[in-house]
Amino acid sequence: MYRSYLKRLFDLLIAISAFIAFLPVFMLITVALVFLNDGKPFFTQLRPGLGEKFFKLYKFKTMNDKTDQDGRLLSDGQRLTGIGKVIRKTSLDELPQLINVIKGDMSLIGPRPLLTKYLPYYSSTERLRHQLRPGITGWAQVNGRNVSSWNDRLASDVFYYNNISFKLDAIIFYETIKNVLSAKDIIIDPDSVSDSLDVERSKGSESPIHS
């Protein structure tokens, strides 16, 4: 009952209420980024969602589009703006994803929507994460967030799939609020994290999780 119906109902009620409550902050950040990011306040990217169906993910744009002499984008860390650091530290860059939740692309709580290029690197067990709507936060994010290994993060997603309940969602929601208020496990510099999943598994440094 909760997985099939009540979870979506709670998503709508909380996401709509939160969006209304944070609308002044949303508008303030949007206006600031319009002026500071050459009229581009939002970052959008296709991500795999429920059933691996692609959807357009929304975030506040925290990096500029500066390139090197050959026209290639500089590293993420070099492109991170001053206001972008503040927005990331407060996790406000994720605020536009409330729109994704309202649209039905995402849930408040679930496995994070990762890059499309990672799809070939999941085991059949790890692909269970795509049998749920992706979330703004999840079990993996309150158990290490970006500082955990890929295997640990994906194992947390599978655990969540197998144990989803109102109680578990309430725990994740509470822990997320605590982490945001304390800025725990928040990665501000994108270049400070470990290799991407495709790079790690191409090198054979991590093997997929199997049941």
- In 3D space, the residue among 162, 28, 166 whose CA is nearest the CA of residue 92 turns out to be 28
Token couple for 154: 């994906």
Q: Is the pLDDT of residue 98 over 90?
A: yes
C-alpha span between 86 and 28 (Å, rounded): 14
- For 138-152, 163-177, 187-201, which range has the lowest pLDDT when averaged over its residues? 187-201
* pLDDT at res. 134: 98
pLDDT bracket for residue 117 (50, 70, 90):
very high
**How many CB atoms are closer than 10 A to CB 52?**
13
Q: How does pLDDT run across 191-204, given as a tens digit for each residue? A: 445 568 878 888 76
Strands 135-137 and 107-109: parallel
pTM (2 d.p.)? 0.87
| Domain edges within the chain | 2-203
Q: How does pLDDT run across 55-67, given as a tens digit for each residue? A: 999 999 998 888 7
The DSSP 8-state label assigned to residue 81 in this structure reads -
Q: How does pLDDT run across 177-189, given as a tens digit for each residue? A: 998 888 766 655 5
pLDDT bracket for residue 145 (50, 70, 90):
low
- In 3D space, the residue among 99, 105, 131, 109 whose CA is nearest the CA of residue 175 turns out to be 109
C-alpha span between 100 and 59 (Å, rounded): 10
Q: DSSP for 88-129, please give it.
A: HHTTGGGTTHHHHHHHTS-EEESS----GGGGGG--TTGGGG
- For 32-36, 132-136, 161-165, which range has the lowest pLDDT when averaged over its residues? 32-36
According to DSSP, the residues that pair with 46 across neighbouring strands are 56
* pLDDT at res. 189: 53
Q: How does pLDDT run across 102-116, given as a tens digit for each residue? A: 999 999 999 999 999
* pLDDT at res. 192: 47
- The DSSP element (H or E) to which 26 belongs, if any, is helix 23-36
